[in-house]
A = this chain, B = another copy of it.
Amino acid sequence: MYSGGYTGKVLRVDLTHQTFSEEELPAETARDFIGGAGFTIKYLFDEVPADCDPLGPLNKLIYACGPFTGTRIPCASRMAVNAKSPLTGAVGVAMTGGHFPVELKRAGYDVLIVEGVAEKPTYLWIKNGQVHFRSAKDLWGLATSDCQQVIKDELKDQNIRVSCIGPAGEKLARLACIVNERRVAGRRGLGAVMGSKNLKAIALRGDQQMAIADQEVFKAARKRMLDAMKNSPVLYSEFAHVGTSGNVDNCTALGIFPAKNWTATGAYDYPEKIGMDAVATRGVGRTACAECPVACSQMRLAQTAPYTGIMTEGPEYETLYSFGGVTGVDNPDAIIAADRAADEFGLDSMSTGVTIAFAMELFERGILTTDDTDGLDLRFGNHEAMVKLVGMMGEREGLGDLLADGVKLAAEKIGKGSEKYALHVKGLELPAYDVRGAKAHGLGYATSYTGADHNKGYAIQEIFGLPFPYPVDRFAVEGKGALTMWNQDARTAVGDCPTMCIFMLDTSVAPFLFENTADLMRGTTGLDLSPDDVQCVGERVNNLAKVFNTLAGLTRADDDLPERVKTEPIPEGPAKGQRLTQADLDQMLDEYYEARGWTPDGVPTRAKLEELRLGVAADKLGLV
């Protein structure tokens, strides 16, 4: 049935009953959703009640690779992990790379669905068709790198790949992520979902090779892609050497690198302290996901006390923001230490930093005092307090317990007007682009089905001047609705589903984005999708996710931005004075919903859903 690319198999594991079964991947699922994020959203929609408790037994943890994962297509070693998010209550999909995704394919599966709750701490050991339910009693409490090594030692196989949680996930911190190697499926609290199932880790080993449906088509498409990568203006010349750290410099130049909980965007000169050149001096080599010729992951080593000797993979741009700019910390070694600590405790580094910045603003304003902070002097810029707080959040100790669920819940508990300083959309903390100076980014944060997410519809046109599908003015409000839809659908269809690395796509194959995926699909799987079909998969996935979120209770009111963003202008720098008011947002939302063919309230229509072969979603919504 599947001549290539897909294994055609879905592994379903029931933790409650300690059973497992294999199912066939339906052909129409492959055709309509391609893989990765698309598969996980399809299964989430079909199987998880949208109104369920994300940390309850009805939620499911769904892993999915795409048809490109594990082939020799460069930059395709990625997978999606999904569940209803305990942080946002919405679709929680996260992408991760490294080596685990390929191992999942080699073990024989396109999709892995974990359901139920184990009675005791458990880990899964999956090898070529066999699933073993093993006690994680001795793994409980372990940091993520220790956990991975101990499992390899215990199973006497160093080639095993492991996806696991740290203490944060075990303790149901809503900022907890899932870690494989030094990479994470982050942001939306999937680590807490794993923890709620008493599942510490999934260990994999397989030796199945990916079949290729049409070698000639495959080779030609792959070669065109590799050639385009060679011509990328940044892939080998910049990303390979400094990762994404150059964006500190770039976004500072654009005046949109957010500082001190977004009170000081544009006011500080961070590049000198924590920008590309500053962190490059800490570089100690790099590493790559499977089959990636770029190897953008930089290893960096702290060089000053008390952080000397701490290494991390990163920090990437977002972490330089979250443990740097937004907290006012300008010590690159502290950022390295905090990044490593977040990885080891299994905390999302972005949300963790933004949450600490939130606490810092409350401290500066006297809403939190040293009585609340276990004595920590939480002023902006106190790097030692920041690093210590990461560990406290990872273990839910003291103030860390309050903060471990993110700014939204923390603000609800603290009260005293603290909500005003909680920077999030749908509960997800804001990424590193001050959207007041990049409006489509703002609309993206507001409308992404995952909350404030820079990766679901990244407006690369605004940040890097990319002229596809057309050039835009980043300060403009008009025209951002259709653009954001295009960005969201494109990134979903060519990145998160097949699965492919966005860095590579943005910087090299942008001129033939959908064609590239269509050709690789034909070569890999034999499925004959047109470029338009590919783009349509993106639209389908975004619609289905939106329906899930609507069923979960989210409305237009949730497609929002934080009060500060809507009421205060950027105070300094190149984007000084830029605003993104409620009226701006409303205008963009109207445009966006219209472009999507949704109602003015932001609900997909039956016509649109049926056009996308999603009639069942319309039924579930009760649409006439």
Chain A interface residues (CB < 8 Å from chain B): 137-143, 145-146, 149-150, 152-154, 158-159, 166-167, 283-285, 287, 299, 301, 303, 305-306, 308-311, 344-345, 388, 391-392, 394-395, 397-398
For A153, the chain B residues whose CB sits under 8 A away are 287
Contact A284 B142 (CB under 8 A): yes
The 25 listed contacts between A and B (C-beta, < 8 Å) are: A137-B284, A137-B285, A138-B284, A138-B299, A139-B284, A140-B284, A141-B301, A141-B309, A142-B284, A142-B301, A143-B309, A143-B310, A143-B311, A145-B145, A146-B311, A150-B285, A150-B299, A153-B287, A158-B158, A158-B159, A167-B308, A167-B309, A306-B388, A308-B395, A309-B395
Listed from nearest, the 8 A-B pairs whose CB atoms lie closest are A138-B285, A158-B158, A138-B284, A308-B395, A146-B311, A305-B397, A141-B301, A167-B309
Nearest-CB residue, chain B, relative to A160: B158
| CA of A287 to CA of B139, assembled, Å | 13
| CA of A203 to CA of B306, assembled, Å | 30
**Nearest Cβ on chain B to A298's Cβ, whole angstroms:** 10
| CA of A149 to CA of B148, assembled, Å | 11
Contact A309 B345 (CB under 8 A): yes
Copies of the chain in the assembly: 2
| CA of A158 to CA of B181, assembled, Å | 12
Contact A309 B391 (CB under 8 A): yes
For A345, the chain B residues whose CB sits under 8 A away are 309
| CA of A311 to CA of B152, assembled, Å | 16
Contact B309 A344 (CB under 8 A): yes
**Nearest Cβ on chain B to A511's Cβ, whole angstroms:** 33
**Nearest Cβ on chain B to A268's Cβ, whole angstroms:** 29
| CA of A305 to CA of B398, assembled, Å | 10
For A166, the chain B residues whose CB sits under 8 A away are 309
Query: Which residue, A158, A167, A309, has most C-beta atoms of chain B within 10 A?
Result: A309
Contact among B137, B140, B395 for A305, CB-based, below 8 A: B395
| CA of A283 to CA of B394, assembled, Å | 20
Contact among B150, B284, B391, B392 for A141, CB-based, below 8 A: B284
| CA of A305 to CA of B374, assembled, Å | 12
| CA of A149 to CA of B158, assembled, Å | 11
For A146, the chain B residues whose CB sits under 8 A away are 311
For A397, the chain B residues whose CB sits under 8 A away are 305, 308
| CA of A179 to CA of B311, assembled, Å | 18
| CA of A150 to CA of B167, assembled, Å | 24
Nearest-CB residue, chain B, relative to A305: B397
For A394, the chain B residues whose CB sits under 8 A away are 309
| CA of A509 to CA of B558, assembled, Å | 73
Nearest-CB residue, chain B, relative to A139: B284
For A167, the chain B residues whose CB sits under 8 A away are 308-309
For A138, the chain B residues whose CB sits under 8 A away are 283-285, 299
Assess A391 versus B150: contact at CB under 8 Å? Given A158-B159, A284-B140, A284-B142: no
For A152, the chain B residues whose CB sits under 8 A away are 158
Nearest-CB residue, chain B, relative to A148: B149
**Nearest Cβ on chain B to A310's Cβ, whole angstroms:** 8
**Nearest Cβ on chain B to A143's Cβ, whole angstroms:** 6
**Nearest Cβ on chain B to A279's Cβ, whole angstroms:** 15
**Nearest Cβ on chain B to A373's Cβ, whole angstroms:** 14
| CA of A347 to CA of B59, assembled, Å | 46
**Nearest Cβ on chain B to A31's Cβ, whole angstroms:** 35
| CA of A287 to CA of B146, assembled, Å | 13
For A398, the chain B residues whose CB sits under 8 A away are 305
For A306, the chain B residues whose CB sits under 8 A away are 388, 391
| CA of A137 to CA of B394, assembled, Å | 32
For A285, the chain B residues whose CB sits under 8 A away are 137-139, 150, 154
**Nearest Cβ on chain B to A437's Cβ, whole angstroms:** 37
For A310, the chain B residues whose CB sits under 8 A away are 143
Nearest-CB residue, chain B, relative to A310: B143
**Nearest Cβ on chain B to A385's Cβ, whole angstroms:** 13
For A154, the chain B residues whose CB sits under 8 A away are 285
Nearest-CB residue, chain B, relative to A388: B306
| CA of A287 to CA of B150, assembled, Å | 9
| CA of A271 to CA of B125, assembled, Å | 38
| CA of A355 to CA of B73, assembled, Å | 55
For A142, the chain B residues whose CB sits under 8 A away are 284, 301, 309, 311
Seed contacts A138-B284, A142-B284, A142-B309; 9 additional CB < 8 Å A-B pairs: A137-B285, A138-B285, A141-B284, A141-B301, A141-B308, A158-B158, A305-B397, A309-B394, A309-B395
